[in-house]
Amino acid sequence: MKKTAFIFPGQGSQSIGMGLEFYQEYDFVREIFDMVEEITKINLSRLCFKGPMEDLTMTVNLQPAVTTVNLACLAAVEKEGVKADITAGHSLGEFSALYASRVVSKENVSTLVLKRGELMHRESTRHKGAMHAIVGLSIDAVDKLVKEVQAEGVVAVANHNTASQIVTTGAPDQVEKVSLLASSQGAMTIPLKVSGAWHSELIKGAEDEFKEFLETISFNTPKMPIVHNVTADFAIDADEIKAVMAKQFCSPVRWYDSMHRLMDENVEIFAEIGHGRVLAGLLKKILPENYPGKIYNVNNMKTLETFLKEIA
């Protein structure tokens, strides 16, 4: 089989009904939901399948919900004997990649994202924040605008998603000012529906606490390489991975560089394992026209069958 990467979405991929087909089809998926619900004490099956959306999108609920659906989709793929060579995940999705590589157990990844969601929610109630997508400028151009405004308050790059799609994060006034400057240079700016300034200094108050919590979780040597958000590169052993995941809390997500790292490894099959098509959409903008890569989504029975048929 061609070199394959499993990539996992994070917050922003959700919608009502996610994971339902696999839940109805497979006992082992229902067991995953039951296990995570026992750990988190959240009725995730009801939230994922019936909503309401405002409850699902609360970060304390959403982080376990998205992760559970990612794990369910992965379980359906692994049941068919399909294995990846490399894995990566976008922000929250990186925790699903940790499980895919068996760095952490299903139970521990659920515990981690629950704690992460609780801490991020707490900090977002203490420090009002905003995030905007800027489309049409390079990372260097956005970095320059961010540096111009930083003297006035907290603002930073949260995600470098494609060559010309950058997400900013920070205090609402400063994020807005960067967007106005970007608009004056011809960029399109889009306020994101988020409850906090993720990947910014405004949630740094929880970073040390999350780092201490990570120390209580058993990490293993990865069974397959993970390209990490913070470095856009691999980490070799469990301790190094733990250190990288602690930094992920407030560091930019280097997704564009991470996908180029996968191309450097000659990955030809990119499978987005989880709900939605957010990462597939980004990849279509990242992969050069002449690159011999194919992009798949696996999030329901039809997409699973298509994926299995085409890679057979």
**Domain interval for residue 79:** 4-125+201-311
CATH number of the domain residue 31 falls in: 3.40.366.10
- Write down the pLDDT at residue 37: 98
- Write down the pLDDT at residue 166: 98
Answer whether residue 146 shows pLDDT above 90: yes
pTM of structure: 0.97
Nearest to 22 by CA among 64, 86, 68, 56: 68
User: Could you tell me if 84 and 152 lie in one domain?
Assistant: no
User: Could you tell me if 132 and 120 lie in one domain?
Assistant: no
Percent share of the chain, pLDDT over 70: 100
Answer whether residue 300 shows pLDDT above 80: yes
Within a domain: 294: yes
Average pLDDT score over residue span 40-47: 97
Among 149, 171, 191, which residue terminates a domain?
A: 191
Confidence of residue 195 (pLDDT cuts 50, 70, 90): confident
Which one has a higher pLDDT value, 190 or 12? 190
CATH number of the domain residue 162 falls in: 3.30.70.250
User: Could you tell me if 142 and 217 lie in one domain?
Assistant: no
Average pLDDT score over residue span 27-48: 98
Distance (Å, rounded) from C-alpha 189 to C-alpha 134?
5
User: Could you tell me if 110 and 168 lie in one domain?
Assistant: no
Average pLDDT score over residue span 27-45: 98
Residues 99 and 66: beta-carbon distance below 8 Å = no
Within a domain: 62: yes
User: Could you tell me if 258 and 279 lie in one domain?
Assistant: yes
User: Could you tell me if 187 and 142 lie in one domain?
Assistant: yes
- Write down the pLDDT at residue 289: 94
Which residues participate in catalysis according to the annotation?
91, 199
Q: How many domains does the chain have?
A: 2
Distance (Å, rounded) from C-alpha 181 to C-alpha 174?
11
Distance (Å, rounded) from C-alpha 36 to C-alpha 52?
19
User: Could you tell me if 290 and 235 lie in one domain?
Assistant: yes
- Write down the pLDDT at residue 13: 87
- Write down the pLDDT at residue 312: 84
User: Could you tell me if 37 and 137 lie in one domain?
Assistant: no
User: Could you tell me if 283 and 295 lie in one domain?
Assistant: yes
User: Could you tell me if 218 and 281 lie in one domain?
Assistant: yes
Confidence of residue 257 (pLDDT cuts 50, 70, 90): very high
User: Could you tell me if 106 and 210 lie in one domain?
Assistant: yes
Answer whether residue 1 shows pLDDT above 80: no
Written in H, E and C, the secondary structure of the chain is: CCCEEEEECCCCCCCCCCCHHHHHHCHHHHHHHHHHHHHHCCCHHHHHHHCCHHHHCCHHHHHHHHHHHHHHHHHHHHHCCCCCCEEEECCCHHHHHHHHCCCCCHHHHHHHHHHHHHHHHHHHHHCCCEEEEEECCCHHHHHHHHHHHHHHCCEEEEEEEECCEEEEEECHHHHHHHHHHHHHCCCEEEECCCCCCCCCHHHHHHHHHHHHHHHCCCCCCCCCCECCCCCCCCCCCHHHHHHHHHHHCCCCECHHHHHHHHHHCCCCEEEEECCCCHHHHHHHHHCCCCCCCEEEEECCHHHHHHHHHHHC
Nearest to 241 by CA among 115, 119, 100: 100
Exposure of 192 in the CB half-sphere (CA atoms within 13 A): 24
Within a domain: 196: no
Distance (Å, rounded) from C-alpha 93 to C-alpha 273?
10
